[in-house]
């Protein structure tokens, strides 16, 4: 399934707001609450968070906590503990995490609900006395700014509040056991939050560090072009609402892994969509996209044996030339050659009507393969419609509807003539040769590893016009039908 780039209103489609930023990073990867939730849950699992909960030292925590030098309480604790053979967590799970904004700037909180059953064994009754404990750990994630080094995401605080704690007995018991259980619960209530902080928060810290390392791995994953590579790196993180925004730097490398182009912050203002419902989005600045396309469509020379490859068009060219010079037309032999040279790489840009690609072509016509001097040479300003669409996790670009906007006669051995006469046939020739050659190079598309790494099957792109004429793309996730990827190109090209 593919979705074409369209100029629909992003705001209407996504309910997004546009926030102008004054310094535009080359790319912005925004990870929404859903992605943060999934990545942190995975890390907590890897770090064995539930195992830690199973090992919570309930007995020793009760012993330490409330006595605090008050003799009466101290003796209460020991009178309770006297009746308990063992006390431990018998089952534990971490429920669905919730990612929420906080009142503080550049901060979000991840609520980690903990669901546990604890039990104790007492000589007073044969069965285990079980109670249900529900509490929550809260991890506050913020941006740490540093005057010399780069900013980074940090776990600002980790705690468990008394207010999130609920403990209730699971069994019906005799009066005696019930009163013992109540005492145990009363001692656990003040002890548990501190215990969660001491035992679980270090694990949450490790999980957070792992998640942050995963973020960096995600943004640094090379994007293979052919030829060369596109690589992103973290410039600075930010938090907007309950999303993490990673501002990225970009560089293009050639096939020998040499950096051919750097993209840093630019002074142009950029309108970034916020509050979209996409699990994640990737916005790429227009100059980066244009250079990526240019890297794939490296300039080369096409030599076309016109009468051999496109006999119909060879005839049409001859007839067009006949209209102004019969002698010249008769000289065009069966071995006539057309040399098509790209003056520089094509540029992708946006106009009011859609995404476009512009290229400057030099076209030399040789009457036969024996000729060393061209019959005539033309400079052609050509443009095409540019379509972006997704196939799986790849971004595919395709050009069609080529038109020759202006044709300059540069050198002519057949005197001056009005180049407009050749417009129709040359448009067909360039579509059949140059454009299909370019589409062939672009056919495999640009793989976006982020999509698969985050567990989505595909992304789709679309086009959006904003404050500074951006061309913006976003993608659809096959499961949730929500947008996942953004691309952004801004038009600043004028051709000739
Ligand atoms: C962009 O930043 C990189 C690393 O900070 C630097 O090496 C490079 O020279 C910069 N390029 C430009 C064009 O400013
Ligand atoms: C027609 O082309 C020939 C060369 O093929 C040239 O010598 C001649 O001057 C041209 N005639 C006109 C009228 O342009």
Tokens in use for 102? 């906080």
- Ligand 1 pocket, CB under 6 A: 262, 264
Ligand 1 center to 262 CA (angstroms)? 6
Environment class of 114 (CB within 10 Å of its CB; exposed 0-12, middle 13-18, buried 19+): buried
Residue range(s) of every CATH 3.15.10.10 domain in the chain: 36-219
What is the reported pLDDT for 467? 30
Placement of tokens 């994953």 in the chain = 221
| Ligand 2 and 125: CB distance under 6 A | no
What is the reported pLDDT for 494? 24
Q: Report pTM.
A: 0.81
- Segment among 30-44, 109-123, 230-244, 472-486 with least mean pLDDT: 472-486
What is the reported pLDDT for 74? 64
| Ligand 2 and 327: CB distance under 6 A | yes
| Ligand 2 and 415: CB distance under 6 A | yes
Rounded CA-CA distance 138/162 in Å is: 12
* DSSP strand pairing (243-253 vs 223-224): unpaired
Residue range(s) of every CATH 3.15.20 domain in the chain: 1-22+266-275+282-496
Placement of tokens 């090209």 in the chain = 493
Using most ligand atoms within 8 A of CB, pick from 25, 260, 262, 265 the residue to mutate for ligand 1. Answer: 262
Closest CA to 39 of 223, 201, 236, 244: 244
Give per-residue pLDDT as tens, 150-191: 889 999 999 998 899 999 999 888 888 888 999 899 888 889
Please state, as a whole number, how many other Cβ atoms lie within 10 Å of the Cβ of residue 238: 16
Using most ligand atoms within 8 A of CB, pick from 323, 325, 365, 374 the residue to mutate for ligand 2. Answer: 325
CATH code of 1-22+266-275+282-496, in short, is 3.15.20
| Ligand 2 and 326: CB distance under 6 A | no
Task: Yes or no: say if 286 and 489 are a contact pair by the CB < 8 Å rule.
Answer: yes
Write the CA distances from 74 to 66, 86, 169, 186, 193, integer angstroms: 8, 19, 24, 13, 20
- Residue of minimum CA distance from atom 13 in ligand 1: 262
- Residue of minimum CA distance from atom 6 in ligand 1: 262
Closest CA to 23 of 286, 236, 269: 269
Q: What percent of the chain has pLDDT over 70?
A: 82
- Residue of minimum CA distance from atom 10 in ligand 2: 414
The number of the ligand 1 atom at minimal distance from the alpha carbon of 262 is 11
Give per-residue pLDDT as tens, 196-214: 999 999 999 999 999 999 9
Placement of tokens 């704690």 in the chain = 165
Ligand 2 center to 427 CA (angstroms)? 24
Angle at CA of residue 22, ends 16 and 23, nearest 5°: 105
What is the reported pLDDT for 26? 86
Residue 400 pLDDT level (bands cut at 50, 70, 90):
very high
Rounded CA-CA distance 431/475 in Å is: 29
Rounded CA-CA distance 194/496 in Å is: 70
Ligand 2 center to 155 CA (angstroms)? 80
| Best CATH choice for the domain 36-219 from the list 3.15.10.10, 3.10.20.30, 3.10.110.10, 3.40.1280.10 | 3.15.10.10
What is the reported pLDDT for 313? 96
Give per-residue pLDDT as tens, 349-385: 755 566 788 899 999 999 999 999 999 999 999 999 9
Rounded CA-CA distance 409/378 in Å is: 5
Ligand 2 center to 434 CA (angstroms)? 29
Task: Decide if pLDDT at 466 tops 50.
Answer: no
Angle at CA of residue 292, ends 304 and 495, nearest 5°: 65
Per-residue pLDDT averaged across 74-101, rounded? 88
Ligand 2 center to 417 CA (angstroms)? 10
- Which range of 72-81, 93-102, 287-296 scores highest in mean pLDDT? It is 93-102
What is the reported pLDDT for 80? 81
Write the CA distances from 197 to 204, 335, 482, integer angstroms: 10, 83, 37
């Amino acid at each position: 399934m593919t979705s074409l780039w369209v100029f629909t209103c992003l705001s209407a489609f996504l309910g997004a707001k546009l926030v102008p930023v004054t310094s535009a990073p080359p790319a912005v990867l925004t990870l929404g609450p859903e992605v943060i939730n999934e990545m942190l849950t995975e890390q907590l699992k890897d770090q064995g968070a539930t195992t830690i909960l199973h090992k919570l030292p309930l007995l020793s925590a009760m012993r330490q906590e409330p006595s605090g030098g008050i003799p009466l309480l101290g003796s209460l604790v020991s009178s309770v503990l006297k009746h308990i053979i063992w006390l431990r967590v018998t089952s534990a799970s971490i429920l669905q995490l919730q990612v929420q904004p906080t009142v503080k700037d550049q901060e979000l909180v991840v609520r980690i609900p903990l669901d546990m059953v604890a039990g104790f064994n007492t000589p007073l009754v044969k069965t285990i006395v079980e109670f249900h404990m529900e509490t929550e750990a809260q991890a506050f994630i913020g941006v740490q700014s540093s005057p010399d080094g780069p900013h980074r995401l940090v776990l600002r605080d980790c705690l468990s509040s008394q207010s999130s704690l609920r403990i209730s007995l699971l069994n019906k018991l005799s009066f005696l056991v019930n009163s013992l259980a109540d005492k145990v619960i009363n001692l656990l209530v003040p002890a548990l939050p501190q215990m969660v902080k001491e035992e679980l928060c270090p694990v949450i810290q490790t999980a957070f560090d792992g998640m942050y390392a995963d973020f960096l791995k995600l943004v640094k994953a090379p994007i293979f072009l052919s030829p060369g590579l596109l690589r992103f790196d973290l410039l600075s993180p930010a938090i907007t609402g309950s999303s993490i925004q990673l501002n990225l730097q970009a560089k293009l490398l050639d096939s020998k892994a040499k950096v051919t182009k750097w993209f840093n912050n630019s002074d142009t203002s950029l309108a970034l969509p916020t509050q979209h419902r996409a699990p994640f989005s990737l916005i790429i600045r227009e100059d980066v996209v244009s250079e990526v396309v240019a890297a794939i469509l490296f300039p080369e020379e096409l030599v076309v044996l016109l009468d051999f490859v496109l006999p119909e068009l060879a005839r049409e060219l001859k007839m067009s030339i006949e209209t102004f010079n019969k002698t010249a037309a008769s000289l065009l032999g069966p071995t006539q050659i057309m040399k098509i040279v790209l003056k520089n790489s094509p540029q992708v840009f946006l106009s009011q009507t859609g995404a476009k690609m512009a290229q400057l072509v030099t076209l030399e016509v040789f009457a036969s393969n024996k000729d060393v001097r061209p019959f005539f040479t033309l400079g052609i300003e050509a443009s095409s419609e540019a379509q972006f669409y997704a196939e799986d996790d790849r971004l595919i670009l395709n050009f069609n509807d080529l038109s020759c906007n202006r044709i300059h006669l540069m050198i002519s051995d057949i005197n001056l003539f009005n180049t407009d006469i050749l417009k129709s046939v040359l448009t067909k020739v360039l579509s059949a040769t140059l454009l299909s050659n370019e589409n062939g190079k672009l056919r495999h598309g640009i793989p976006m590893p982020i999509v698969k790494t985050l567990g989505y099957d595909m992304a789709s792109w679309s086009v959006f016009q904003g404050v500074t004429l951006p061309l913006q793309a976003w993608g659809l996730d096959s499961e949730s039908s929500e947008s996942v990827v953004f691309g952004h190109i801004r038009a600043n090209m004028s051709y000739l």
